[in-house]
Amino acid sequence: MSSLCIGAVALFFLGMGLYGLAAPSALVRPFGIELTLPEARAEVRAVYGGFGVAVGALLAWAALGDPGDLRSGVVLTVAVSLAGMAFGRLVARAVERPSAFCPSWFYFWVEVVGAALLITGV
């Protein structure tokens, strides 16, 4: 079961990363962000694209690799990162007060569920 949980989160990161590399403007459009400059698109490709693919590949390796300290460390690091992003959304909710459920609350729950899957699946 743990490899299945890790693999599910890996697929999410790989999908987000590939989407970020291929279509950076479309990825951030639901947040009301317009990427009018090449530098802005390059930044989204790096942070959402390259980072997402790297984390997804690392989690895929952890799901397929031998259980051990390195696997546990990878999974815990990504779980804490997801929890940190969810916490940032709570802070943003208190400060910015976004009116719509989507995309902020949707991704909050994606991050919470992803962190929970990784923590409980280790």
Confirm whether pTM is higher than 0.85. Answer: yes
95 lies in which domain range? 2-121
Write out pLDDT tens, residues 14-60: 999 999 999 999 999 998 899 999 999 999 999 999 999 999 999 99
Which positions ≥6 away from 87 have C-beta within 8 Å?
Answer: none
Alpha carbon separation from 4 to 11, 45, 62, 63, 81 (Å, rounded): 10, 27, 11, 7, 19
SS3 content of the chain, % helix, strand, coil (to 5): 85, 0, 15
Quote the number of domains for the chain.
Answer: 1
Burial 35-50 (b: 16+ CB within 10 A, else e): beeeeebeebbeebbe
